[in-house]
């Protein structure tokens, strides 16, 4: 339950569950594609990310191809039009995929992860679930605990330029941190100003 104290939003209760923001950089847009990198952070919807509780991994592509994960030519072409720095960060110094997935699971459980957030609940989560499955692993979240940043941004009237952008676009960790800040901005905007949610007036 949400409330306000001194006009600052907070979350009630001692049993507050951990929210995790996830972002992937990939070579496709559907489950079963190669995932280049994983970025994630613990965050609090009313205050934003905890920058000391982050996860970042660059994954080996060859061992994913060995598991019959695929590369989408259109996505590969899209990468050629992006910042070279982002591509380098998503591909250089990659590590074997399975140990990195297990490291993610350990990281998730170390912070008692509960809710999985991403920029579109039909993208990052399902793609990572498919990669887990290809290596005989199980994702740590339940399907009903996934959350979508775009829904909150729309309901809270958050514009793309409302929150200052730090880091590199399409760096998975930088994107996850930014998305967390956008959620916190939206929640504070509604709680502090008493503004209406999207749709309250028939829009």
Residue 174 placed within a domain: yes
Whether 42 is covered by a domain: the verdict is yes
Q: Is the pLDDT of residue 49 over 50?
A: yes
Domain that holds residue 175: 15-193
Is the confidence at residue 189, as pLDDT, over 50? yes
Residue 1 lies in a domain: no
Q: What is the pLDDT of residue 192?
A: 62
Whether residue 154 has pLDDT greater than 60:
yes
| Mean pLDDT of all residues belonging to the chain | 89
* 97-110 helix and 124-134 helix, angle to the nearest 10 degrees: 120
* Residue with the larger pLDDT of the pair 196 and 186: 186
CA atoms within 13 A on the CB side of 6: 0
Q: What is the CATH number of the domain that holds 139?
A: 3.30.420.10
Residue 75 lies in a domain: yes
Query: Taken in order 158, 163, 168, 173, is the CA torsion positive or negative?
Result: negative
Query: Tens digit of pLDDT for each residue in 87-115?
Result: 999 999 999 999 999 999 999 999 999 99
Q: Is residue 94 part of a domain?
A: yes
Q: What's the pLDDT tens digit per position in 170-183?
A: 999 999 999 999 99
**How confident is the model over 137-147, as a mean pLDDT?**
97
Query: Cβ neighbours of residue 86 under 8 Å, at least 6 residues apart?
Result: 25, 168, 169, 170, 171
Residue 203 lies in a domain: no
| Residue 173 domain-assigned (yes or no) | yes
Domain count of the chain?
A: 1
| Domain contains 69 | yes
Which residue, among 117, 139, 127, has the nearest Cα to 40 in the 3D structure? 117
């Amino acid at each position: 339950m949400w409330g306000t104290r001194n006009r600052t939003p907070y979350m009630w209760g001692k049993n507050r569950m951990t929210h995790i923001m996830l972002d992937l950089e990939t070579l496709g847009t559907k489950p079963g594609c190669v995932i280049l990198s994983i970025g994630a952070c613990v965050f609090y919807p009313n205050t934003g990310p905890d920058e000391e509780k982050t996860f970042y991994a660059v994954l080996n592509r060859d061992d994913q191809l060995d598991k019959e994960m695929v590369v989408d030519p259109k996505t590969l072409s899209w990468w050629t039009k992006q910042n070279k720095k982002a591509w380098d960060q998503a591909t250089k110094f990659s590590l074997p995929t399975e140990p990195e997935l297990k490291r993610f699971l350990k990281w998730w459980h170390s912070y008692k992860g509960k809710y999985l957030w991403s920029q579109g609940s039909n993208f990052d989560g399902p793609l990572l679930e498919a990669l887990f499955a290809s290596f005989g692993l199980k994702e740590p979240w339940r399907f009903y605990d996934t959350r979508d940043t775009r829904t909150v941004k729309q309901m809270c009237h958050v514009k793309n330029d409302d929150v200052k952008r730090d880091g590199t676009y399409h760096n998975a960790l930088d994107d996850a941190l930014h998305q967390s800040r956008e959620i916190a901005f939206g929640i504070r905007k509604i709680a502090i100003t008493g503004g209406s949610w999207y749709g309250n007036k028939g829009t």
